[in-house]
Structure 1
Amino acid sequence: MSFVSLGLSEPLLKAVAEQKYTNPYPIQEEAIPAILKGHDLLGIAKTGSGKTAGFVLPILERLQRRKTADNGRVSVLVLVPTRELAVQVAEVFQALGAYLPRKVKTLAVFGGVSINPQMIALRGVEIVVATPGRLLDLVASNALSLFNLDVLVLDEADKMLELGFADEMNQIFEMVPKKRQTLLFSATLKDSIQDIREHLLHNPIKIEIADELQNLDLIKQVAYRIDPERKGPLLRYLIREKKMRQVLVFVSSTRTADNLVVKLRKNGIQVEAIHGDKSQGARTETLRKFKAGTLPVMVATDLISRGIDIERLPYVVNYELPRSPKDYVHRIGRTGRAEAEGEAISLITPDDEHHFRIIQKKMRKRVELIETEDWSLSGY
């Protein structure tokens, strides 16, 4: 199947080609025609499965069928859990709408920055991509209204609930009109998602894409057994010996991230951290440089990883293991995307070994554990 057969107009197909999308992903094949027909939709799909373009393209197509914009009215609201994801989704709307005859204005709004510029920028906006808290601030300031909304999208709804946005989301649901199209995307179909589904969706089409566990073949996984005090030198050794460029290093806390950055910089490695304690401006700039390839190493926490979507990322390193096997799969799934190979490296201390065995069992994949006891790491 090609994008041409999905009912999209020529300007969108031109943008799709420019973005080097070849054939649609499975969720796009099913979601685009359903959304174009006005159906509510429940999509169960992991990050990186192509779902963003799966809802962006048909939304832009339907908006373009209007001859003029309804000035002063937000037509589409996309709710997301993190600032980075808000920026990323807005960028997809802008990139895929580049050749539309009637320009559709999109704006990402999120906390951590001044609200006033966002209030001013809302003039003439048809699509708002927002984190829940900042959206409510803007509504309370009479900067926008949700009463005339046509389309509501919940992207990564499961993560928003995990991060404690349930109360804010419920407030927003009370503000939107009952007659609308609702698109709900989640990585899992938990009871909380079922509750939202029952209250928000009307006769939805359900699309469920195979678990990421089935899509790990392009990722080379390797682990190194290492004593805790030698983890830093081993990471520096690997970065230098493998001549790594664009390596994403995962840690469990902001404190570890900052400490690791200090040690890597002392050893001449260009690196920056991205986490929740950084300002929004710093996070945006760090991510921009990393995506552009001008920042070789970025250290990140799991929360921030939700906004990181980089095609052909060659390396992911688990400096510390995540708490759950699901988060491990999500982390290493940052590489091996868009049918490109990638390498996922884990540094395993003796205390980590039992947990790592559980991860491998859940993943249904054995990872080679390489001994490093005899490795000389002096000078690193």
Structure 2
Amino acid sequence: MIVSLILPQPPGYSETFFRSKIQGLQESGHKVILVTGATDQTFEACQHLQHPKVSKNSLVQIFKMISVFLGLLPYLKSVSKYIKLEKSEGTSVKRLLEKLYINATLLKLSTDWLHFGFATMALERELVAKAIGAKLAVSLRGYDIGVYPLKQPNCYTRLWKYIDKVHVISDDLYKKALKHGLSSKTEYKKITPAINTVQFDRGDTIDPKKSKAYHILSIGRLHWKKGFADTLEALSLLKMKSIKFKYYIIGEGKDYERVAYAAHQLNLKDEVVFLGKLDHQEVKTELIKTDLYLQYSIQEGFCNSVLEAQALGELCVVSDAEGLSENVLDQQTGWVVPKSKPRLLTDKILEVIQLNEEDKRKIQENAIRRVRKEFTSEQQKEKFNEFYLK
């Protein structure tokens, strides 16, 4: 079986989800083709194709289009079918020519599945799979179904008509898709993110921390979705209660200045430490130092970092944003706090700090046991194999 995976760019160093998926499919005997936007980045794990690049220079773009259209001549059967499908949907001649150009790489594929790694990537490409005789699948991961349709109502109306199967990473995202028009009759499968539990294993001993200042950690790009403003407000309230702590943030992002300024405004400049981008081993090292892991996101599909923290036996407090309440079981493997309620987060942190060691250990052991049982990379690979076969 051939599976073509469409992503914005080749998987980065932290996108273990896609790397694991590709490796798992290959180990199961399937061929994987990765299709991305035009980029200087390369991907060696499988065949890597790119969409045609769009030039801002109109003259250059005309020559590019002529070249691409000539390259489509050996694929006239698929192209003709695609044109008929687009015309049946009322696509204008001008827009049809543009779509032929941006979808040229996909129209040349001989594949069993066309799987868009994010639903937004399938927009303007909804008809390609049917034109080339492939099945169409999309993944719903968070922003694409939790935020984008709020800005672009009914954006997926055409996609839902032609889709064969949906992959979701949490039940909450599936419910959101239904609210945004996905038919309950459309086949779907939940496959959560997973981790290499061997890599994030500290053995069976969980030593109590003995630092003078409570060590708190969050991992995530500096973006409004990650809820850093609410987190910092909660921590400022914690400081007012004379709790000594250091708050470490791993990650980079466009909102660095906003987050740093918020820390300054809230009188937390001595408590907040920005660690920037770290590799996997450095992340593990920081996690092991941690007394409490926070992921107080406003919008979060699931979050691998929370799985990694639990696998290492860290106490985790998360928001109830989408998949986080499935990632952490409240009062069993950690604690779930309603999002955008900084005072509630402060109260929960105080509650966790004041727990006796026996109660903390019970939560830690539950978290480790559940991650090892339900969120392994091997399970994820097998589920994706089933996704395409069944």
Larger radius of gyration: 2
Which TM class, normalised by the smaller chain length? 0.3 to 0.5
Q: Structure with the greater relative contact order (CA < 8 A, sep ≥ 6): 1 or 2?
A: 1
TM value normalised by structure 2: 0.38
TM value normalised by structure 1: 0.39
